[in-house]
Structures are given as structure tokens and as C-alpha cells.
A = this chain, B = another copy of it.
Amino acid sequence: MSDQKLLGELVDIARAFAPYGKVADYIPALSNQNPDDLAICIYSIENESYYAGDHLKKFTLQSISKVITLALVLMDNGEDEVFSKVGMEPTGDPFNSIAKLETNIPSKPLNPMINAGALAVTHMIKGDTVIEKWDRLIEFISHLTGQQVTYNEDVAYSELQTANLNRSLCYFMKQHGVITGNIEDLLVLYTKQCAVEMNCVDLAKMGAVFANDGLDPESGRQLISKDVARICKTFMVTCGMYNSSGEFAIKVGIPAKSGVSGGIMGSVPGKCGIGIFGPALDEVGNSIAGTKLLEGLSAKYSWSIF
């Protein structure tokens, strides 16, 4: 059976889990998604791609953007500066929790994959203005996908209106000197970052760059330094799948980052990138069918890194 055909069969099997999940409902743009959607693209480091499902359907990155921004910021600022502001440790607390900021002294987000840490990372994007920072980020993402990407204005606007928990995290960190400057500016930038839109082929392409030690399989250019690509893949394993990162590492074993839109970006070192879109989420916030699909793929192709 061809890889392409096998992929279609695995998607059909995984789609059966979608009804057990539910789409995010905190903003209209997400709650309107079709819970039965499931699409995947596998993009090899030899620049070949396979897909199944409606692979051209667009969705927003949401938390997946945390890894991309981290890569940019690490290259801009260096590891020492970045990790003086955000930790490297996984946490047993929810992604949007504020408690550890209070109990850990000095106050510092535990890692860049929880909201507090991601906000601190976005705060470090180089640029004098929000526009300059945004331009740098969207250009970087466009390089990774190989084409110009944009963001969904409705989603960004809705998220900014409902971003009070992130506001709370920001002001808490501002109080403790983790971040400085104008908080609304930072939130505008962060919500745009989360609202960047693409399809699963673009997402797989980005995953392939990480899988290929930062080298673009298409252009052959080094878009991310090898060390930074490695660091990002490490965070994807230790804290990429919200509060089931540990379970995902055991059952799947592929560096991956998910978002509340139902997207998952996977990166199999030395092999391929994976882009998945399946908006029905499990109780911790990962695509329920997407996770099952990755479990099947990892078992089939022995992709666990462990």
C-alpha cells in the first residue's frame, strides 16, 4: 500500500475520535469550526509531501506560534538573554496558570510554552514599534512556509477583546520586571501572532525545517540555526502538548506543538514535518483526532525519538 493511501486510511480511523472532542468556544471564529474536519500533510526533508483530508483549509496557529516566535527570539537575542527571562522546565500547572509566577521567586515563567512564558518571549522580538516587530515575525513565518502568510483579523480582534487573563499575566510580570513597556502593544502583537493563518501543508513545511536542523528542504537555506532548531524541538517534547505533554511523549514520542484551533505541528528529527488540522479538542486542549492520528503514524513508522 502506498504511503499516500495509508495516510488516507489512518485519517479515516482517527476521524472517528472527533465526536468525542469539542471545538474551542471562547470566541466565535473558533466555535464556528467544523468538529469533523481532519486534514494532514507530511512534508519530508527530501522536500516531498503527502496529504489527506481537506489539506487546503486554513486555520489559525494559536499556541503553535509560540515555537516559531521562540525560534526567532532565540536567534535575535541569544540563549542567555532569553533564558534569563523565561525558564526551561515543564510544569504540572495549566498553560494559562498564574500561580507559579507568585510562588517561584524570582518571578519568571517556567517555560516558553505556557502563556506567561510565550508573552515574555514575544516581548523580546526585536523592533522599535509593534509594526516593526510584527513585520519581522510575519516575514520569518513566511520564509518558513515558503510563501507570504497573513493573519485573521477577526480572530485577532476577538482574542484581544477577551485577553483579560493574558493581560493579568502581563501586568503580573511587569510588576516583577520580567517584561517592560506598554502591555496593550504587547497584547496586540501576541494576538496577531496567534491569529496567523495557514493550511496544514504550510504547517508541515515549517515542521520540516525544524526536523531538518533548521535547513529549508525547499530552498536549501539555513532559516533557523541548528542549535535553535534543537532547543525548539526539545520544548515541543517537554511541554508542547499542554498538560498531556508527558503522555504524548510516551505514546507518540514526536516533538509537537498544538494550538486551540486544532492544529498540531510535528517534527520528526531527520525525517519530516507534520501538519495537522482537526478542531475537535480533548479535555486538555489538543486536537483529539489529530493526537490519535499521530499515535497511529508513530507506531506505524517507528517515529518515536525514544
Task: Give the interface residue-count category, chain A.
Answer: 35 or more
A306 touches B255 (CB 8 A): yes
A238 touches B234 (CB 8 A): no
A269 touches B171 (CB 8 A): no
A126 within 8 A of B: no
Bound complex: CA of A97 vs CA of B231, how far in Å? 28
Chain B residues positioned under 8 Å from A207 (CB to CB) = none
Bound complex: CA of A243 vs CA of B90, how far in Å? 9
A171 touches B175 (CB 8 A): no
Bound complex: CA of A88 vs CA of B247, how far in Å? 5
How many identical subunits does the complex contain? 4
Chain B residues positioned under 8 Å from A247 (CB to CB) = 88-89
Q: Which of A264-287 contact B (CB under 8 A)?
A: 269
Bound complex: CA of A104 vs CA of B90, how far in Å? 17
B168 touches A164 (CB 8 A): no
B92 touches A91 (CB 8 A): yes
Bound complex: CA of A230 vs CA of B302, how far in Å? 11
Task: List residues of A whose CB falls within 8 A of some B CB.
Answer: 87-93, 97-100, 102-104, 110-111, 164-165, 167-172, 174-175, 230-231, 233-235, 237-239, 243-247, 249-250, 253, 255, 269, 304-306
Q: 8 nearest interchain CB pairs?
A: A91-B92, A90-B90, A89-B246, A168-B171, A164-B175, A168-B172, A167-B171, A88-B246
